[in-house]
Amino acid sequence: MIEGKYTVEKDLRQQLVTYSKWLSRLGFTPGTSGNLSVRLNRECLLVTPTGMSKRMVRPDDMVIVDLHGRLLAGSRNVTSEIGMHLAVYDRRPDVQAVVHSHPPIATAFACSGRSLDETLCQESVMTVGIIPLARYATTGTDEVAASLSPFLANHDAILLENHGAVSYGKSLEDAFMKMETLEHIAHVALVAHQLGSPRPLRSDQIERLNCAKATYQQNAISISAPPFSSSNTTGTSSQPTTELLVHQNER
């Protein structure tokens, strides 16, 4: 059992490195900005440390914190923005991973006081939907959690006024792809308005897309459902936490 937990933690540390580097390559985490986290088990999170370029992080740099943000293990310090992550996990028990970054075009919308609330392309309906704008909050303070609170239940990606964006999902891959899609939607919106002729989808078109989305999600669940059940365990069914997480994060 201990070996299994170690394997899961090792895998999640490597995933944090992988998606940190992808965010850096995309230009979403300049300097030491941005942070990522993933549930390690019911009691704690694995998080990127403060003060490091996401291009340069290594598996051993990650820190473990409890659900109050207190450092439990690791040689580096916890990010000052851990409160943002904790707010998401607290309100969304279905969420397994959180990504915070500064994608430039989406951040420009946030710095202009604009949400991404126009449904201009089918992709936005099929993925993250409307992306709201959380009011300005000083980074590293309790204000951030309060500003996110109105949107957490019904949205999977949020712009942060004069700051950046946060996305979250069932795995690090899912949270990362939502952040990537958020920036794509911002780029489309910017160019459509520069062209001077944005044409948002009609309500009937959005309704049909929502039906298509529901079908797609059901098919995806059927294909990716892991072969996990209590009958496959060897006397450890009462402790499914990390074993279940590794299935979720391999999707």
232 has a pLDDT exceeding 70: no
Is 81 in the active site? yes
CB 128 within 8 A of CB 189: no
Q: In Å, what is the CA distance from 31 to each residue of 19, 134, 135, 160?
A: 16, 24, 24, 19
Kindly state the tokens that stand for 151: 């949107």
**150-209 pLDDT, tens digit each:** 999 999 999 999 999 999 999 999 999 999 999 999 999 999 999 999 999 999 999 999
pLDDT at 248: 38
CB 63 within 8 A of CB 44: no
Nearest-angstrom CA–CA distance, 223 and 229: 16
Q: In Å, what is the CA distance from 156 to each residue of 25, 91, 122?
A: 23, 12, 17
**Annotated catalytic residue: which of 81, 161, 173, 183?**
81
- Residue 216's pLDDT band, with cuts at 50, 70 and 90, is confident
**185-195 pLDDT, tens digit each:** 999 999 999 99
Nearest-angstrom CA–CA distance, 120 and 189: 7
Domains and CATH numbers, the chain: 2-249 (3.40.225.10)
